[in-house]
Structure 1
Amino acid sequence: MQNYLIKNACIVNEGRTFFSDLLIKNGRIEKIAPQINCTEAVVEINAEGLHLLPGAIDDQVHFREPGLTHKANIFTESRAAVAGGVTSFMEMPNTVPNALTHELLEDKYQIAAQSSLANYSFFMGTSNSNADEVLKTNDRKKDVCGIKIFMGASTGNMLVDNYLTLDKIFREAEVLIATHCEDEKVIKRNLHALQGVELTPQHHPVIRDVEACFESSFSAIQLAKKHNTRLHILHISTARELQLFTNMLPLSEKRITSEVCVHHLHFTADDYDRLGYQIKCNPAIKSADNKAALWEALNDDRLDVIATDHAPHLLSEKEPPYAHAHAGLPLVQHSVLMMMKYVQEGRISIEKVVQKMSHNVADMFDIDQRGYIREGYYADLVLVNLQQSTTVSKENILYKCGWSPLEGETLPASISHTFVNGHLAYANGELNASQLGMRLRFNR
C-alpha cells in the first residue's frame, strides 16, 4: 500500500481548525504534527490552501442494488460518493428483493465487497411479519449498522403499521432503530380530499404534510420512550417535529436522535415551480419557514446529523402524472460541497459541518475507528478547496441516472482528494478503483 505525507493542511477536527502535516501509513493515520519529515518512501501532497476534513459518513442512501440497477448500483453510486468526499455509507433495505432476511442482507454485503469504492454498511429491513428475523440483528450488532423501519409506505412489503410488530421490535432490539416517519392514514386522508383535482408537484407537500410527519415521529418517540429504545429518526422536514428533540443532553446521552437531509436545507416548496418532480421526495420538501427552522435546529444541536437520502431515479421516472413520478433525489456526490456553500455564506461553521457529517455519525452508530482525524484511525480523509468552485453539469455527474436537481448551480468549493482507508481513491477529478472500501464495524 502506498503511504502519503500531507503537508501544510488546514485540519478541521473535533471543534478545532489548525495547520499541520499528516502522515498516512498502511491505511491508517500514523502521525499528526506541525512538521513531519519522513525518511521513508511516501507520496507527498502539498495541501497549502486546502482544508483537510474527516471523510463524510452518510447514514442514509439508496444505491438500488440488487434489483433496481437500471437506476444505480453500488459501484456507480459509491464512485460518486467518493468523488464528493463521502468515504462511508449506510444503505437502505428497500432494494429488490427487500432485505428482509439476514441471508438477503449478506448478499448485499457480498456485492459491496466486490464493487464499493467507499466503506459500507446495510440496514436490516422490517415488515409486518418478520420481527423474529429482524431481532436476529441483536447477535450481529458489531456487523450491521441498524434496523430500518418504514413507518410510511415504501417499496414492496416494507410498510410497518402493525402495532404489535412495532412494539415487539422496539421492545427487544439491542441495536439502533432508524425510522422513516410519515403517517399513512394522514397521507391517504389528504389524497382523498384532493379527489378530482389534477395533481401537480406543488400538491406533494400538501399530501405529505406537516401533520403526517409529526404524528408518525411522535408515535415512534412514544414507543422508544416506553421501551428505552435507541431510536434515530431520519430526514426531519418540519418545524413542528423539532419540538420532539432536545439539545439539553450531550449526544452520548441521547437515546433519541435526528437527521436532516441536505435537500431540506437547500430547497423550499417554491422550487417546485422551477424543478417540478425532480425534487419530489418523501418526506416532501416544504415551505420556507420549515427550512428556516431546520437551520436553527441544526446549529443549536436539536438535529444531530446531516445526510442525503440519496435516491436516484431515471429522469423518465420523474415525469408526470403525479402517481407515476417517483420520489427521491440523487445527491451523494454534492452533499459536502452543498454544506461548504453554506459555510462560505456564514450559515454554519465548518467545524459544525464536520461534527454533523462525520463525528456525530461515527459516535451515534459506534463506528470503529472512523469519523475523526486521530492517530491510529483509518485514513478516511477529504481535502476541500474553498477557493475553487464546482458547477454541477451532466458532464461531471457520476450518478448512473445521469442527472441532478443541482444542474447549473455553482457551488463555491471543490473536492481535491479523497482517501478511503489510506487509498487515494479520488484526486483532482480522477478516480482510482484499484482498492475497494471495507465493511464498517461497530463497537457494541
Structure 2
Amino acid sequence: MKSILIRNARVVNEGLEFDADIRILNGRIQQISSSLQGRHADINLDANGHFVLPGMIDDQVHFRDPGSPNKASIATESRAAVAGGITSFMDMPNTNPPTLTLAALADKKSRAAICSIANYGFHFGVSNENLGTVAQLDPREVSGVKVFMGASTGNMLVDDPVILENLFANCPTILLTHCEYTPRIREREIAWSAQFGDEIPADQHPLIRDEEACYQSSSLAVSLAKRFGTQLHVLHISTARELALFESGPMRDKSITAEVCAHHLLFDDRDYATLGHLIKCNPAIKTQADKEALQRALLSNALDIIGTDHAPHTWEEKQQHYMKAPSGLPLVQHALPSLLELVSAGVLPLTTLVEKTSHAVADRFAIEQRGYLREGYWADLTIVKRHATPQAVAKDPILAHCGWTPFQQHAFHHTIETTVVSGQLAWHQGEIIQHCQGLPLRFNR
C-alpha cells in the first residue's frame, strides 16, 4: 500500500476539533501530530484547513446484490458510498435469494471481496424456518441479525409470537428490528384503497403507515428485549412517540439502542408535494414535529446512531401508482453532505454528527479498529470541503445505479473532497479510484 500524508487538517474526532497532520502507512494511521513537517509520503494531500472526519459507517444499506442488477450492485453502490464519505457499510439480508443460509452469506462475502470499494459486513436474516441456523451463528461472522417485525417481502416477515420469543431469547449477537405492525397497515391500505382506488396520493403514506403502526411493533420489540436480555438495535425510528421507549445517556450503558435515518431527519410530510413516491419509504417519512423531535433526540442520546437505509429502485418503478410504487430511496452518495446541513443550520454540533455516524456505530457493532481517528487504527477517513456558497447537487454525476437522488434540487454547504478506505484512496477530487479494494469488517465479539 502507498503511504499517505495529509497536512493542514481540521481533525474532528472523539468530541474534539483540532489542527493536525495525519500519516498513513500500510493501511493504518501511523501518526497524528500537530506538525509532520519534513516527512514525505507516496501520496501527499493538503487539506487546506478543511475537516477530516472518520469515515461514516453505514449500519444498514440495501445494495440489492444478488438478485436485482437493474437496481443496484455491491460494485455500483459501494462507489456511490465512498463519494458520500462512507467508508464501511453493513448490507441487509433481503436480497434474492435472501441471506437466510450460511451459503447465501458466503456468496455475498465473495461478491464483495471482488468488487467492493468500501469495507463491508453483512446482516443475517430471520424467517419462520431458520431459527436453528440463527442460533448457531458465529457472532464474528455477521454484523448482526435482522428481523422484520413488520411488512416485508418474501418469507422474511416474522410475526409468530412463539418464534419471536425464541429469537429474542436465543439470538447469539445483536438483533436488529424493522418495526411496523402489519395488521394495522393492511387494514388501512384497504380503507384508503376504498376511498382512492389505486391512485392513493403520496402524502397519505404516513397516514397508512402511521405512528400507531410503528409504536405497536417497536414497543413489542423493546418489551421482548427487556424480558430476555437481548442486545437489541431498533432501526429507522420515525416518530416522536417511539422515543419514550429508549433511554437517554451514554450508549455503553445500554443493551437496547436505536437508529435514525438521514431521510427521517431531513424530510417531512410537506415534501411529498414535490417529491411524491420518490420519498416513499418504510417506515414512512412523517410530520415536521416528528422530524424535529428526532433531531433533538440525537442531542439527548435517546437515538444512538444515524444510518441511511439506502434502498434504490428504478425511476420507472417510482413513477407507478401508490400500490405499485416500491418503498425506499438512494442516499449513500449524499449521506454526509446532506447530514452536514444539520450542522450548518446549528441543529447538531459536528462532533455529535461524527459520534452518531462513526464512533457509536463501531462501538455498538464491536467493529475492530475502525470508526475513530486513532494511531494504529485502520485509516478510514474523509476530507470534507466547506463552501461559502452551497453547491448544487444537480451538478454531480449520480453514481448509484438507479441514476436518481431525492436531493436533486438541493444544494449543500459541504462536499466530499477525498475518501480513504483502509489506507487507500477511494475517492479524490470527484473521481473514483477504481483499484481501491475494501476489506471485510471484523467484529470483536
State the TM bucket, normalised to the shorter chain. Answer: over 0.9
Quote the sequence identity (%): 49
User: 1:153 & 1:437 partners in 2: Cα distance?
Assistant: 32
SS of 1:123's partner is strand
SS of 2:173's partner is coil
What are the superposed Cα offsets for residues 383-433 of structure 1, whole Å, 9 maximum, x if unpaired?
Answer: 001126432227511110000111021011110110000101111001112
User: 2:105 & 2:152 partners in 1: Cα distance?
Assistant: 18
Matches within 5 A, 1:192-203: 192-198=190-196, 199-203=200-204
> Any unmatched runs of 5+ in structure 2?
none
SS of 1:334's partner is helix
Q: Report the equivalent of 1:169.
A: 167
Q: Report the equivalent of 1:182.
A: 180
User: 1:354 & 1:387 partners in 2: Cα distance?
Assistant: 19
Q: Report the equivalent of 2:419.
A: 418
1:155: Cα distance to partner? 2.3
Question: 8 Å contact 2:381–2:419 — kept in the other structure?
Answer: yes
User: 1:127 & 1:303 partners in 2: Cα distance?
Assistant: 27
User: 1:265 & 1:282 partners in 2: Cα distance?
Assistant: 14
Matches within 5 A, 1:210-225: 210-225=211-226
Question: 8 Å contact 1:340–1:386 — kept in the other structure?
Answer: no
Question: 8 Å contact 2:393–2:408 — kept in the other structure?
Answer: yes
Question: 8 Å contact 1:380–1:420 — kept in the other structure?
Answer: yes
User: 2:365 & 2:41 partners in 1: Cα distance?
Assistant: 36
User: 1:436 & 1:323 partners in 2: Cα distance?
Assistant: 40
Q: Report the equivalent of 1:37.
A: 37
What are the superposed Cα offsets for residues 323-369 of structure 1, whole Å, 9 maximum, x if unpaired?
Answer: 11000010011110011111111111110000000000000000000
2:401 equivalent to 1:400? yes
- The one-letter code sitting in structure 1 at the alignment partner of 2:24 is I
SS of 1:154's partner is coil
Q: Report the equivalent of 1:94.
A: 94
Question: 8 Å contact 1:119–1:440 — kept in the other structure?
Answer: yes
User: 1:88 & 1:44 partners in 2: Cα distance?
Assistant: 23
Q: Report the equivalent of 1:345.
A: 345
2:248 equivalent to 1:261? no
Larger displacement relative to structure 2 (12-21 or 287-296): 287-296
TM-score (normalised: structure 2):
0.97
TM-score (normalised: structure 1):
0.97
Matches within 5 A, 1:258-407: 258-387=258-387, 389-393=390-394, 395-407=396-408
Q: Report the equivalent of 1:121.
A: 121
SS of 2:331's partner is coil
2:430 equivalent to 1:429? yes
Question: 8 Å contact 1:258–1:305 — kept in the other structure?
Answer: yes
SS of 1:213's partner is helix
What are the superposed Cα offsets for residues 249-287 of structure 1, whole Å, 9 maximum, x if unpaired?
Answer: x21120000000010011111111111100000000001
User: 1:329 & 1:223 partners in 2: Cα distance?
Assistant: 30
Question: 8 Å contact 2:84–2:337 — kept in the other structure?
Answer: yes
Q: Report the equivalent of 1:141.
A: 139
User: 1:319 & 1:39 partners in 2: Cα distance?
Assistant: 55
- The one-letter code sitting in structure 2 at the alignment partner of 1:191 is E
SS of 2:394's partner is coil
1:192: Cα distance to partner? 2.8
Q: Report the equivalent of 1:76.
A: 76
1:130: Cα distance to partner? 1.0
User: 1:293 & 1:346 partners in 2: Cα distance?
Assistant: 15
User: 2:21 & 2:276 partners in 1: Cα distance?
Assistant: 47
What are the superposed Cα offsets for residues 194-225 of structure 1, whole Å, 9 maximum, x if unpaired?
Answer: 24222111111111000000000000011100
Question: 8 Å contact 1:317–1:326 — kept in the other structure?
Answer: yes
- The one-letter code sitting in structure 2 at the alignment partner of 1:300 is S
User: 1:158 & 1:379 partners in 2: Cα distance?
Assistant: 36
Question: 8 Å contact 2:5–2:41 — kept in the other structure?
Answer: no
Question: 8 Å contact 1:299–1:348 — kept in the other structure?
Answer: yes
What are the superposed Cα offsets for residues 100-129 of structure 1, whole Å, 9 maximum, x if unpaired?
Answer: 111111110110010100000010001111
Q: Report the equivalent of 1:4.
A: 4
Question: 8 Å contact 2:20–2:32 — kept in the other structure?
Answer: yes
Matches within 5 A, 1:245-256: 245-248=246-249, 250-256=250-256
RMSD of aligned residue pairs (Cα, Å): 1.1
User: 2:315 & 2:171 partners in 1: Cα distance?
Assistant: 39
User: 2:169 & 2:38 partners in 1: Cα distance?
Assistant: 53
User: 1:215 & 1:392 partners in 2: Cα distance?
Assistant: 38
Q: Report the equivalent of 1:236.
A: 237
SS of 1:44's partner is strand
> Any unmatched runs of 5+ in structure 1?
none
SS of 2:358's partner is helix
SS of 1:35's partner is coil
- The one-letter code sitting in structure 2 at the alignment partner of 1:162 is D
Q: Report the equivalent of 1:49.
A: 49
SS of 1:196's partner is helix
1:174: Cα distance to partner? 2.1
Change (3 A) 1:419 1:68: same
User: 2:349 & 2:176 partners in 1: Cα distance?
Assistant: 27
Question: 8 Å contact 1:57–1:371 — kept in the other structure?
Answer: yes
- The one-letter code sitting in structure 1 at the alignment partner of 2:321 is P
Change (3 A) 1:285 1:65: same
User: 1:359 & 1:144 partners in 2: Cα distance?
Assistant: 19
User: 2:130 & 2:195 partners in 1: Cα distance?
Assistant: 38
User: How many residues end up aligned between the 2 structures?
Assistant: 441
Among 189, 192, 198, the alignment partner of 1:191 is 189
- The one-letter code sitting in structure 2 at the alignment partner of 1:170 is F
1:41: Cα distance to partner? 4.0
